Amino acid sequence: DEWHLAVIELGNNGRKLQLLLNRVNLWNWPDERYELLWKHFSIDPSDASLRQQLIAWESSKGNTAGLNRLFARIIELSPNDTNSLNNFAYTSLLLGTNLDRAIEIANNNCKLEPKNPYYVTTRALALYKQGKPQDALQAIEALDIVNLAQPDRINLHTLFLAETGKLQEA
């Protein structure tokens, strides 16, 4: 209860927030640090260092919903940031939310950079979510062997192979 009152008392005061964040770091309270980082992000979403810390935290926790929320806010501020758009689309596809927008983003990014392996991966997942596993398989197999060998792409490639009836290859 005292913790929640302390966070409420901070309001939007950046100085108080930083002092409490320093104390939490000293005490090695990771969950409370995370909560304060999100509060700081809500106050200053343009802070690139803060964004990276939250991305690392959410990734380490496997929190796709948290990543999606983070990228949604980033693209509100920077609607032309294709990497953040791609990350938003990818996490949306994984969550099964905002599918129409995610598919549109995936297609647009692939038109801009058709050889970008991240954009190709997102587009392949978008095709799969549209019920087009054969098209998804063709898209992901267009990647070179180095990019195809990345863990997330191996998983998607295996899924697409299985969905197209190529169980032995999968």
Of 35-49, 64-78, 139-153, give the lowest mean pLDDT range: 35-49
Residues of the chain with pLDDT > 70, as a percent, come to 100
Distance of CA 147 to the CA centre of its chain: 19
> Torsion angle of alpha carbons 29, 27, 19, 54, nearest 10°?
-30
pTM score, two decimals? 0.88
Average pLDDT, the chain: 93
**Is residue 25 pLDDT above 90, yes or no?**
no
Q: Given pLDDT bands bounded at 50, 70 and 90, which one contains residue 104?
A: very high
Average pLDDT of 62-87? 96
Where do runs of H (alpha helix) occur along the chain?
Answer: 2-10, 14-27, 30-43, 48-61, 64-77, 82-95, 99-112, 117-129, 133-141, 145-148, 151-163
Average pLDDT of 107-123? 97
Treating both helix axes as pointing N-terminal to C-terminal, what angle do 30-43 and 2-10 enclose, rounded to 10 degrees? 20
How far is residue 114's CA from residue 148's CA, in Å, rounded to a whole number? Answer: 15
